[in-house]
Structure formats: structure tokens, C-alpha cells
Amino acid sequence: MTETNRRIVLRRRPVGMPVPDDFAFEEVPVPEPAEGEVVLKHLYLSLDPYQRGRLSEAKSYAAPVPIGGVVECRAVGRVLASRDGRFAPGDVALGGFGWQTHSVMPGRQLLKLDPAEAPVSTALGVLGMPGLTAHVGMSDIGQPKKGETVVVSAASGAVGAVAGQLARLAGCRVVGIAGGAEKCRFVIETLGFDAAIDHRAEDLAAALDRTCPDGIDVYWENVGGAVQAAVFPRLNDFARMVMCGMIAQYNDADPPPGPNLGPVVRKRLRIQGFIVSDQWHRLAEWRALAAPMLRDGRLRHREDVVEGLEATPAAFIGLLQGRNFGKLLVRLPE
């Protein structure tokens, strides 16, 4: 084709915050499409926090961009030429096109967009991956209930804005955390949140106490770091923490000291506390399951038995020091 594709490739892996020299611009001719392929000129590229992860070699849920490779992203493009019967020149489509002006893609990897339905750029935001993220995280994990308090970090952003609004629609009190007065105003006046906290200007602990007097029932985690540290002790019993992202540490060369919750997102970990007394009604179920296994040796156990009531305090202290070996019991004389 006569068209030229301008593209951005990864020149070297960024160390810490990426700098422009980590990337290089290239110009290459746009190839002719093969059977089933579509040529697109991109209208919008989507820039998302996850792309920082793709620039690094660290193990993740997706392969890194190779050195010299086009930086990946989703994009919306207009069809210039097509050898796929489903697309005609002028159509607009969504696909994973990368940081470049053109792409040639198999038509089966594209989603045709209807510009009459909504502005096509929304396919990368509120009606696209970030919107879906908010929907999935809120409905599957956050499960906000009427009257609950929901805190959303990076609240003015692509994901946070939708997540908070979904919680509002569910009848919750929603507090957004955002950087700067303008973003905070937007969170309240445009998105309709009940309150906003400026994490760049306010003392987070005091601001959370002021805006969440009844504690926090759902925390939507987008940032980690100091925000997470301030939210964590204010979570109510049975609160849900939607571990969506921890952007504050995406540029860290080394994980922060202490427990690092970053892998909770990357590895889709589920962390949930529980108290067995809530499940007491299931004791009969457990006994029916375990007793036969205990009898035939599939289930083993060990008891550490001390004799007489007098031995109790010392045995208990020993338990806290690891001196017991097995289930610690005090045997009382019959």
C-alpha cells in the first residue's frame, strides 16, 4: 500500500519510571492485506496502566513486549481496505493494535463498532476494558449493598469512575480518592460521589475518618501504597477489598518492605478472612466426611496431652511458644 505506518517500539526496558529514550519511532510501509485481513488507520490508542507491566520482564499474566517490538495497546481504527467480507472501507473497529498509526489484522480479531451507538472512543474506556473491569470487580467481588460505604482509589480514572458510580447506583455512600482539587471536584460534581479525598493534599487517615464515620465496607484498590495503608485499618467486618491494581508500585524496582499485595492482582489471588463460628452449622457435614477417613487412616492426627488442671497455664504458654506438638489437650481425671 502507499500508506506509511509510524510506530513506537521498545528500545530498552525502563528502569523505574519510563523515560522517552526507552522508546524509538520507526516508519515502515503498510503491507498489502492477505486473504481475511483488514487494514486499519487508527483513530484512538488506549493508554492503560497495565502497559507498564508489559515493558518489564517480570513474570506476569501476559508476555512482555520484546525489545524492538511495538508496544501493545488496544485501539480503535477505521478500515482502509479489507479482504474480510465482514468489513468494508469506512467501518470502525476495535482491536489490539499497538502504539502505531496503522495495522493489518485478521478480521476475526476485530470487533466492529457502531458509531451511532456511542462515540467510538468509548470502546476503549467506559464501554470497553476499563468499564468491564469495574463491572466485573463490583458485581463479583465488591457486591455493594444499599447503605454501605464504598471507597474508590484513583476515583477520577477510567476504572475508578465507573466502579464508584456502580456503587452509587447500588445505593451506597461512595467516597473517592483522587489527586488534586480539580479531580476531587469532578468526582463529586460530575460523577455524583458523596465525598472526595485529595491524596496529594490531605492527611489520608483523618480524611477517611471524616468521610467514612461508619468505616469502610468495600474498598476498590487501584493504587496500593500509602492509600492502601490508610484504608486497611478502617475496613469493617466482612468488608470486601477489590484488588484491581496497585499503580503506586508499578515503577518500583524492588517490592516494598512488608507484605506485598501486588501479586494478589497479577495471580488473581483470593484472600478472605473467616471465623469458623459463622460456619458452625456445618459441623455435622464435616464429621460425616472426616470420621470415616479417620477410621481408615486416610486422615491422620496427633495429640499432645498434658495431665491435670494445674498443668493448664504452663501448657497454654508453651503453646504460644511452640512447645506443644499436635493438638494440645489437658486430660482431667475421671
Ligand X SMILES: NC(=O)c1ccc[n+]([C@@H]2O[C@H](COP(=O)([O-])OP(=O)(O)OC[C@H]3O[C@@H](n4cnc5c(N)ncnc54)[C@H](OP(=O)(O)O)[C@@H]3O)[C@@H](O)[C@H]2O)c1
Binding site for ligand X (CB under 6 A): 48-50, 130, 133, 154, 156-160, 178-179, 183, 199, 222-223, 225, 227, 244-245, 247-248, 265
Q: Phi and psi dihedrals of 278, rounded to 5?
A: -65, -20
Report in angstroms how near the CB of residue 41 gets to ligand X at its nearest: 25
> Between 178 and 231, whose beta carbon lies closer to ligand X?
178
3-class secondary structure, 43: strand
Beta strands 195-198 and 173-178, pairing class: parallel
> Between 120 and 162, whose beta carbon lies closer to ligand X?
162
Report in angstroms how near the CB of residue 230 gets to ligand X at its nearest: 11
Cβ atoms of 138 and 171 closer than 8 Å: no
Report in angstroms how near the CB of residue 54 gets to ligand X at its nearest: 11
Report in angstroms how near the CB of residue 142 gets to ligand X at its nearest: 13
Query: What is the rounded distance in angstroms from the CA atom of residue 108 to the CA atom of residue 95?
Result: 10
HSE-CB at 274 with a 13 A cutoff on CA atoms is: 8
Query: What is the rounded distance in angstroms from the CA atom of residue 214 to the CA atom of residue 220?
Result: 17
Report in angstroms how near the CB of residue 187 gets to ligand X at its nearest: 9
Helix, strand, coil abundance in the chain, percent, nearest 5? 35, 25, 40
> Between 38 and 207, whose beta carbon lies closer to ligand X?
207
Q: Which residue is nearest to ligand X (CB)?
A: 157
Report in angstroms how near the CB of residue 106 gets to ligand X at its nearest: 25
> Between 95 and 176, whose beta carbon lies closer to ligand X?
176
Report in angstroms how near the CB of residue 27 gets to ligand X at its nearest: 29
> Between 129 and 330, whose beta carbon lies closer to ligand X?
129
Check residue 33 and report its DSSP letter.
P
DSSP string, 248-284: GGTT-SSPPSS---HHHHHTT-------GGGGGGGHH
Report in angstroms how near the CB of residue 227 gets to ligand X at its nearest: 6
> Between 199 and 234, whose beta carbon lies closer to ligand X?
199
Cβ atoms of 74 and 124 closer than 8 Å: yes
Locate 171 and state its grid cell.
445505593
Q: SS3 for 148-194, per residue?
A: CEEEEECCCCHHHHHHHHHHHHCCCEEEEEECCHHHHHHHHHCCCCC
Locate 223 and state its grid cell.
493504587
What's the Cα-to-Cα distance from 180 to each of 151, 230, 288, rounded to whole Å? 17, 18, 58
3-class secondary structure, 305: strand
> Between 48 and 91, whose beta carbon lies closer to ligand X?
48
Report in angstroms how near the CB of residue 291 gets to ligand X at its nearest: 42
| Strand partners of residue 82 | 38
> Between 93 and 126, whose beta carbon lies closer to ligand X?
126
Query: What is the rounded distance in angstroms from the CA atom of residue 246 to the CA atom of residue 262?
Result: 6
> Between 92 and 178, whose beta carbon lies closer to ligand X?
178
